[in-house]
Structures are given as C-alpha cells and as structure tokens.
Amino acid sequence: MKTAQAGTLESMDCIVTVTETEKGRGISIAMEGASIVRFGEAMLKATKDTLKDLGVRDISVSIQDNGAGDLVLKARVEAAVRRFAGVRTP
C-alpha cells in the first residue's frame, strides 16, 4: 500500500499520514488528539479543503494531532500529499 507522512508530534503540530485507496472510494479521514472534541469539524474542513485544492479525490488520511491549528494542519496535509505523489509503490 502506497503511503506518505509529514509532521511531528511536537506541541502545536500533527502527523498526517496519507494512504492510497481505490479509485472512486473518495476521501476518508481519521483523527485523534485532545483538540478534536472542540475543533474536529474545523479540522475536517481544513483537511478536505486542502485535498480539494491539491486535486486529490481518493485518499485515506489519518491525523495524529497535538494541538495544530488549521494553518499547520493544512501545511502538513499538503506536505504529505506532495510526498505521496512523489512516492513509488514499493
């Protein structure tokens, strides 16, 4: 399974892992971390918006959050997706 990752678990950062899914399966997002109870919706939106901007239609995203704001989350999603695009299936 093709996968790529970006970010750290330092304070105000997150680790975003993106994994290949079958074409047509769409976007699935899983999140964990303390801010999710109050910011889960915002985080979902930030992630979806970034994927849309990057033209990604089918992908599975997993976010381990340690207090990242939208700015950081979006930067990490973008970095993970760009790495993903550069990664060859092993």
Partner 1 sequence: MRLRRTKLYLPGNNPNMLLRGHLFGPDGVILDLEDAVAMSEKDAARILVRDVLKRGDFGDCEVTVRINGMDTEYWKTDIETVVPCGIDGIRIPKVEDPKDIALMDEALSQIESKARIPVGRTLIFCLLETALGVWRAFDIARASKRVAAICPGGEDLRADLKTTRSENSEELIGPRRMIALAAHAAGVDALDTVYADITDDAGLRRETEWVKQLGFQGKSVIHPNQIPVVHDVFTPTAKEIEQAKKIVEAAAEAAARGLGAVQVDGRMVDKPVVKRAEYTLQRAGLKAGGEKA
Partner 2 sequence: MTINAAGRNIPDTIPGYGEVRHFKGHDRRPPEGCRFGKRNRAAFNTRRDKTLPDLKAAISASGLKSGMTVSFHHHLRDGDYVVNAVIDACAEMGIRDLVIFPTALFKVHKHLTKHIQNGVIRQIMGSVNGPIGQLASEGGFSVPVVLRSHGGRPRAVTSGDVVIDVAFIAAPTADNYGNLTGAVGRSACGSLGYAHSDAHYAQCVVAVTDNLVNYPAPCIQIPQFFVDFVVPVDKIGDPAGIVSGTTRVTRDPMRLLIARNAAKLIEATPYFKDGISFQTGAGGISLAVAAYVREAMRERGIKGSFGLGGITEFFVDMMKEGLFERLLDVQSFDLAAVKSIAENPNHVEISADWYANPWNAGCAVNMLDTVVLGATEVDRDFNVNVNTEADGAMLHGIGGHQDTAAGAQLTIITTPLLRGRIPCAVDSVYTVSTPGEVVDAVVTEFGVAVNPRRQDLIDAAREAGDVPLVTMDELVEKAQELTGPMTPVETEDRIIGVVEYRDGTVIDVVKQLKKK
Binding site for partner 1 (CB under 8 A): 6-8, 10-13, 68-69, 71-72, 74-76, 78-79, 82-83
- The nearer residue to partner 1, 14 or 59, going by C-beta atoms, is 14
Residue 48 touching partner 2 (CB under 8 A): no
Q: How many CB atoms within 10 Å of residue 86?
A: 8
Mark the segment that binds partner 2 (CB under 8 A) among 18-26, 40-48, 50-58, 74-82.
40-48
Using CA atoms, how far residue 44 sits from 1, 38, 65, 87, in Å, is 23, 12, 12, 25
CA dist 21 and 13 (Å) reads 25
Is 66 a binder of partner 2 (CB under 8 A)? yes
